[in-house]
C-alpha cells in the first residue's frame, strides 16, 4: 500500500463509502465472493457494463486493497481477479446493505421490482461445506 494515488477521506464512514462507491464495485465484489474470476467471466455476469468501466472499477478496487489481480505466465496470458482478505471482510456489510435495500423497497411497496438478495455470510457457507 506504499503508493496511494488518491487521498481518502479522514472520516472512517466517508472513507468506507468512498472505497466501495462506484456503479459496479458492489456487484464486482459480490461475484468475487464466490472465488477468482477472469475479466471475461465478470463481463458475462455484468452485461450492462463496458469493459473499460469494468477495468477502471477493478483497478480502483485493487488500489484500495479489495481486489487482487493475478497474471499467470501462460501463452496466451491469463489474468484472474479475486477478493482479498480485506475485500472479503466486506461480505457481512454487503449482506446488511442487501437486507436494508429489501427493507427500504418493502417500506415503499416496491418489492416486486427487486432482484433476489443471495449474499450469504461466509460462516454459513463454510458450515454447509463441512
Whole-model pTM: value is 0.79
Q: What's the CA gap between 12 and 1, in Å, rounded?
A: 18
State pLDDT tens for residues 82-130.
999 999 999 999 889 888 988 999 999 998 888 777 655 555 444 444 3
Task: State residue 84 phi and psi, 5-degree precision.
Answer: -80, 175
State pLDDT tens for residues 8-30.
889 999 999 999 998 899 999 99
Sheet holding 67-72, edge to edge: 37-38, 78-83, 67-72
HSE at residue 21, side-chain half, CA atoms within 13 A, is 8
* Overall size of the chain counted in residues: 130
**With bands split at pLDDT 50, 70 and 90, how would you rate the model's confidence at 5?**
low
Between strands 78-83 and 37-38, the pairing is antiparallel
Q: What's the CA gap between 12 and 14, in Å, rounded?
A: 5
- The three-class DSSP label of residue 118 is coil
Amino acid at each position: 500500500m506504499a503508493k496511494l494515488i488518491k487521498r481518502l477521506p479522514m472520516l472512517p464512514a466517508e472513507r468506507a463509502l468512498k472505497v466501495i462507491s462506484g456503479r459496479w464495485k458492489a456487484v464486482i465484489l459480490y461475484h468475487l465472493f464466490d472465488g477468482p474470476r477472469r475479466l471475461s467471466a465478470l463481463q458475462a455476469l455484468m452485461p450492462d457494463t463496458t469493459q473499460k468501466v469494468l477495468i477502471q472499477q477493478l483497478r480502483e478496487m485493487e488500489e484500495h486493497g479489495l481486489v487482487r489481480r493475478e497474471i499467470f505466465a501462460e501463452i496466451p496470458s491469463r489474468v484472474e481477479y479475486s477478493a482479498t482478505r480485506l475485500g472479503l471482510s466486506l461480505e457481512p456489510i454487503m449482506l446488511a446493505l442487501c437486507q436494508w435495500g429489501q427493507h427500504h423497497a418493502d417500506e415503499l411497496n416496491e418489492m416486486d421490482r427487486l432482484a433476489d438478495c443471495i449474499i450469504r455470510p461466509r460462516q454459513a457457507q463454510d458450515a454447509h461445506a463441512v
